[in-house]
Amino acid sequence: MVETKKDAIQAKKVTYKDWLQNKGELRLHSRYAEERKSLTLTVKKSKTQSRENFRHTLDSNYWQATKMFCQTIWRLHGKRSHQARSIKDQSGALLSNEKDITQQ
């Protein structure tokens, strides 16, 4: 069984490419299926460990738990939307006039 997620993904990709080159070989398909199962188990273990670490961090630091939880939710949901700090035209010149900005 492969230890890290990256190694498991790479092993699955290699076996998949081997199987695609020789679709008739049942041995390669079964090897690919085993790699998929191995990857699934590796990802499950990784997610479980990550959740356990997150729970432990929240439990151990009560005062920072709310902030950390919100930051994690924001990170999982996506980056916070930021307003544009500057708008440039095609040549790279900074636009400061509202009329020029709306035309872009």
Averaged pLDDT of the chain: 81
Long-range contacts of 39-47 (CB under 8 A, 24+ apart): 39/2, 39/5, 39/8, 39/9, 39/11, 39/12, 41/1, 42/1, 42/2, 42/3, 42/4, 42/5, 42/8, 43/5, 43/8, 46/5
What residue segments make up the domains of the chain, in order of their start?
5-77
pTM: 0.56
Predicted pLDDT of residue 59 = 80
34-69 confidence digits (pLDDT tens): 999 999 999 999 999 988 988 888 788 777 788 878
Radius of gyration of the chain (CA): 24
